[in-house]
Structure 1
Amino acid sequence: MDHRQLVKTLAQLATDQRLLIATAESCTGGWVAQELTAQAGSSDWFECGFVTYSNEAKTRMLGVPEALFISDGAVSEAVVKAMAQGAVDNSRATLSVSISGVAGPGGGTPEKPVGMVWMAWYFEGREVQSRCFRFSGDRHSVRQSAVKEALKGLIKQLTKNTV
């Protein structure tokens, strides 16, 4: 499925369940939010997007504890989980996705190579779900792959809600 088809599926699920979605993005720079708002009628189910590229913005806007950047780094499970929860806590949304990664071409390390992207999904009242991806390709490809997986994860969260 391409981004447009994924968003259409997501829109229907969110509308049917009468809930709002928020995004908390770093390496994707708001691309997920852009895909969501490209869908006509998205104001019925999309609450807001936080583009928090700097650690300071993640702390200020989403409440990510500064200590997590020291202990785990910005590209980590702990940080994306905090970002996802912060997106719901600082909006009217019930469901969020967060993304932080190394899109390249520089910035990678042996522990966190280019293409490593952490994501988390938080559905209010549930445990935060997270996953680490290793995408290949150039910066655009890594970011595009991250957007697709973020959308698929949101759909998965909403599908779980209907079972």
Structure 2
Amino acid sequence: MKVKIKLFLSTIVMLTVTLIFFCIISSISRPKVEFIEDNNKLTNKIESSIGHIYYDGTSKDVEARIYVIIINNDSKMHRVTFILDSNEYKQYNFINSDFRLSGIYEWSPEDLSNVAETDGRFIGEKEIILQANEKKYLTIRATANFGGVKDYRRAGPPIELKILE
């Protein structure tokens, strides 16, 4: 009887140690650069981004403007870029190409009243560098070729964070 109890307890201890080990490994290998969504939720992809896309009559392209907050929780700097998902808009022939980044701008929370007037300070066209433990408020601008079917303004496309180094 005592042998069975000792075996049971040692099995529970081994499982607990293994579980803690896997949790530590997963937290170490997890990317440290992420978007901050509502309620301070961290994610590397935003399905329903804040922003809009619209047809620009002067350039004959579709323009996207997306607002995100990004944070680098790592102790080293990272170079990052963004990927905008254009599949939904291609289905309706609103665009016929993928979105291409045309500018990344930084703004501060104090500028919220002015966000419709300006994108902020230009900090990169295709990629940006985040310093260690840095948080940035960004406006991401992108363009795509017009697909032929005019549409009213729509919500921003899904956006994904890609860490380059």
Instruction: With the length of structure 2 as denominator, give the TM-score of the two structures.
Output: 0.29
Greater relative contact order, per chain length (Cα 8 Å cut-off, separation 6+): 2
**Structure 1 or 2: larger helix share?**
1
Larger Cα-atom Rg: 2
**Structure 1 or 2: larger strand share?**
2
